[in-house]
């Protein structure tokens, strides 16, 4: 415990062991450092190995507002980490689980999966993380040992997928209880809570200088869209692209297309209010399907002499998925499905594929979580990646339902919820 706290202090402040003129310029003195050290010890002693009572937004049943409750969070078990969540954003996948994919076996639950926080304690067998580490929890883990993790062809992990069932930790595995009932852990993360417990293979350690209320977005939306363009589609310099849907994921896809060197990026959305924001991320053309009587694929074909080289569907609508594919040029066009749905099947005329188009899927932008997230945080810190521009609102956790309503009605891009203080 002492060593963990000492590491924490050293990682946050740096001062020479011997007095030098530079030491006078430091914002924290050794006395302040000692105070922080003692605070770290006190906090760890107060909570490590014990059940924590904290605030969380609980979804008791589908299609109902979340309820702020006091829940109990168990200590981390073997190969688990308990994290103090500092900030979390509301993603459309949270709404999808609450409002669309409403199978009752998933409830009650604590939603949230796009977050950043600080390790509070670790369970037996955890070797790469310690209390005080700044981290981003991951809904797609990386064990680095299975054949999927060892393959450069995918970012999926057999061990992580089996551990979360791709959506939730079952009640008997959950660290959460409330009013005597076990709560499902959504996506293995459940970040609409002041504390959560996550498998260590689903935690990315990041630069402690990174602002947690900003880089939390890297935990889902930004990587998902940006990586779909760069890693999955492999957008090429000088190419033409179309991005369908201009939420956070779609805007990140636009940003990825620009970073890859696309010369023309067509932004498609039925909400024209989003076009100005898309321009910030690199979009060059804007199309509202409501302004046209013909299929959007025909509109794009006319704009691009037969279709775009790459298209990315970031809505989660099977009709839009088909339109995105048909908007690609025959012969070599590549379309990537990024949007999420489990409610409907998608269909397409075989000729679309026979003509040389390729249809691909992408999860978390093809990034291997533990290896891919830290470089994205570094890119943000080096001012090579936009993050702040996605955030349109900041609210306390108590106002999570307001954030959900804004997203439902297209009134925000990303709302960050302040959950705890650092």
How far apart are alpha carbons 17 and 34 in whole angstroms?
A: 13
Residue 36 has a pLDDT of 46
- Helix residue ranges per DSSP H, 231-365: 248-259, 275-281, 296-303, 318-326, 350-354
HSE value, Cβ hemisphere, 13 Å, CA-based, for 208: 15
Mean pLDDT of 275-280: 96
Higher local confidence (pLDDT), 319 or 104: 319
**pLDDT (average), residues 287-292:** 96
Judged against a pLDDT cut of 60, whether residue 18 lies above it is answered with no
Proportion of the chain above pLDDT 90, given as a percent:
75
Same fold, 49-219+387-418 and 224-366: no
Q: Identify the pLDDT of residue 190.
A: 95
Dihedral in degrees, nearest 10, Cα atoms 162, 74, 416, 405: 80
Residue 357 pLDDT class (50, 70, 90 cuts) = very high
Write the pLDDT tens digit of every residue in 28-41: 444 444 554 455 55
Range of weakest confidence among 143-157, 165-179, 302-316 = 165-179
Range with the poorest average pLDDT among 151-165, 209-223, 235-249: 151-165
Mention the CATH class of domain 49-219+387-418. alpha beta
Q: 162: pLDDT confidence band, cut at 50, 70 and 90? A: low
Give the predicted TM-score (pTM) of the model.
Answer: 0.86
Spatial distance between the Cα atoms of 333 and 194, rounded to a whole number of angstroms: 45
pLDDT at 264: 98
Confidence label for 104 from pLDDT (cuts 50, 70 and 90): low
Output the pLDDT for position 12: 43
Give the range among 162-171, 238-247, 315-324, 410-419 with minimum mean pLDDT: 162-171
The full set of domain ranges for the chain reads 1-18+26-47, 49-219+387-418, 224-366
Residue 149 CA, chain-centre distance (Å), reads 19
Specify the pLDDT at position 9: 43
| Mean pLDDT for the stretch of residues 221-247 | 98
Buried b (16+ CB within 10 A) or exposed e, 194-227: bbbbbbbbbbbbbeeebebbbbbbbbbbbbbbbb
> Is the CATH number 3.40.50.720 carried by domain 224-366?
yes
Beta bridge partners of 59: 109
Mean pLDDT of 94-105: 80
Helix (H, G, I), strand (E, B) or coil at 96: helix
Confidence of residue 122 (pLDDT cuts 50, 70, 90): very high
Q: When comparing pLDDT for 229 and 185, which is higher? A: 229
pLDDT at position 149 is 95
Average pLDDT, the chain: 88
Which two three-digit tokens encode residue 330? Answer: 């025959």
Q: Express each pLDDT in 359-417 by its tens digit.
A: 999 999 999 999 999 999 999 999 999 999 999 999 999 999 999 999 999 899 999 99
């Amino acid at each position: 415990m002492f060593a963990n706290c000492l590491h924490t202090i050293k990682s946050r402040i740096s001062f020479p062991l011997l007095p030098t003129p530079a030491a006078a310029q430091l914002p924290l003195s050794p006395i302040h450092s000692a105070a922080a050290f003692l605070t770290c010890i006190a906090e760890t002693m107060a909570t490590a190995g014990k059940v924590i009572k904290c605030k969380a937004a609980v979804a008791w049943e589908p299609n109902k507002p979340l309820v702020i409750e006091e829940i109990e969070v168990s200590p981390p078990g073997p190969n688990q980490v308990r994290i103090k969540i500092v900030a979390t954003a509301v993603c459309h996948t949270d709404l999808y689980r609450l409002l669309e994919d409403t199978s009752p076996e998933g409830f009650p639950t604590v939603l949230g999966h796009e977050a950043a926080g600080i390790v509070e304690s670790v369970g037996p067998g955890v070797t790469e993380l310690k209390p005080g580490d700044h981290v981003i929890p991951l809904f797609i883990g990386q064990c680095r040992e299975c054949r999927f993790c060892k393959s450069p062809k995918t970012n999926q992990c057999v061990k992580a997928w089996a551990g979360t069932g791709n959506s939730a930790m079952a009640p008997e595995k959950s660290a959460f209880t409330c009013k005597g009932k076990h709560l499902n852990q959504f996506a293995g993360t459940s970040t609409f809570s002041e504390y959560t417990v996550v498998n260590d293979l689903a935690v990315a350690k990041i630069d402690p200088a990174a602002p947690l209320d900003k880089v939390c977005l890297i935990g889902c939306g930004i990587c998902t869209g940006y990586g779909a363009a760069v890693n999955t589609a492999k957008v090429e310099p000088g190419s033409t692209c179309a991005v369908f849907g201009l939420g956070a994921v779609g805007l990140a896809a636009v940003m990825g297309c620009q970073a890859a060197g696309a010369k023309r990026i067509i932004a498609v959305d039925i909400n024209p209010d989003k076009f100005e924001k898309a321009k910030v991320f690199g979009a060059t053309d804007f199309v509202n399907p409501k302004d046209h009587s013909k299929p959007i694929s025909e509109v794009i074909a006319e704009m691009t002499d037969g279709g775009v080289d790459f298209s990315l569907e970031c809505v989660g609508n099977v009709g839009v998925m088909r339109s995105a594919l048909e908007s690609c040029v025959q012969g070599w066009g590549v379309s990537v499905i990024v949007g999420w749905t489990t409610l409907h099947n998608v269909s397409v005329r075989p000729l679309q594929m026979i003509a040389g188009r390729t249809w691909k899927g992408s999860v978390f932008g093809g990034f291997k979580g533990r290896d891919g997230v830290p470089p994205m945080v570094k890119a943000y810190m080096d001012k090579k990646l936009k993050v702040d521009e996605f955030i349109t609102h900041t609210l306390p956790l108590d106002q999570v339902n307001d954030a959900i309503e804004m997203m439902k009605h297209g009134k925000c891009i990303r709302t960050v919820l302040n959950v705890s203080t650092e």
